[in-house]
Structure 1
Amino acid sequence: MLLLVNKVTAPADLENVFAIRREVFVGEQNCPPELEWEFEDESIHFLATVSGVPAGASRWRKTDKGYKLERFAVLAKFRGAGVGQALVQAVLDDLPADAHYVYLHAQVQAASLYERFGFKKVGEEFEEAGIRHYKMVM
């Protein structure tokens, strides 16, 4: 199994990113499409592939608070194979050197993944797009 994560800008690669997010967030998790689809043009997108097959996606963007990691999605058949960890590492490696405040909104069941990378829960659990989350800061 060859697991690769690449920063992507080509239209065909971005279509794979958006298809993965649609399947995971809109299809599986019933996230409203209009909430899932935002800030695309100002975000830096990543596509994970396993032996050349699209498997996962993520992105980061600069906000008024700092650098926000977002939209981590792994297709069901690739979960448990290290795709999520590879995506987190690739996004962290891509952040600018001056990225001092790095944060994300983690779905409750994924918080332990981000804790492995040094993120800490901040504040109470909250709901976003009908899904329970924690704000986490590195």
Structure 2
Amino acid sequence: MPEVKEIQVKKVSDPADLEKVFAIRREVFVVEQDCPPELEWEFEDESVHFLAKVDGEPAGACRWRKTDKGYKLERFAVLAKFRGFGLGQALVKTVLEDLPEDATYVYLHAQIQAVGLYTKFGFEKVEPQFEEAGIQHYKMVKKSSLSL
């Protein structure tokens, strides 16, 4: 595995950067995980998007958005060749730091294989396992928001 020199995660809104975000999500969710494309492209305009780069190359993406329940973290995607470098952790950390101060209820739908990642950041499973887009998930809530 090649050595990673620099991981950078930044909030993006420029159309060129957003196209990189969408390309990463298309590769991971639609191509690799066979998610229906119509489920992948929703709530884009109301979401805050993030692009992760490894040594300047687009490598991962995610977003958060405000819902009627609170703040939902979504669409965490890392291209296969960049997995295992800590990119997922960098994405979660950056997104959590970007949430507004009034983000008292923070939640996500975690694919089963990612539960351990989110647990490191204080998320807990709060409901039984369920299927979303043909993939098994758990709803997880950040511990500081569980008592609210």
TM range (shorter): over 0.9
Do residues 101 (structure 1) and 101 (structure 2) align? no
Do residues 67 (structure 1) and 71 (structure 2) align? yes
Scaled by the length of structure 2, the TM-score of the pair is 0.93
- Look at both structures and tell me which one has the larger radius of gyration over its CA atoms: 2
Name stretches of at least 5 consecutive residues in structure 2 with no aligned partner: 143-148
CA distance in 1, matches of 2:122, 2:108: 12
* Amino acid in the other structure paired with 1:129: A
1:1-138 correspondence runs (5 A): 1-138=5-142
Aligned identity (percent) is 76
Matched residue count: 138
RMSD: 0.3
| Cα deviation, residue 38, structure 1 | 0.3
Name stretches of at least 5 consecutive residues in structure 1 with no aligned partner: none
Q: Secondary structure at the match of 1:124?
A: coil
Instruction: Give CA deviations for 1:50-72 in whole Å, capped at 9, x if unaligned.
Output: 01000000000000000000000
Instruction: Give CA deviations for 1:82-101 in whole Å, capped at 9, x if unaligned.
Output: 10000000000000011000
CA distance in 1, matches of 2:42, 2:94: 21
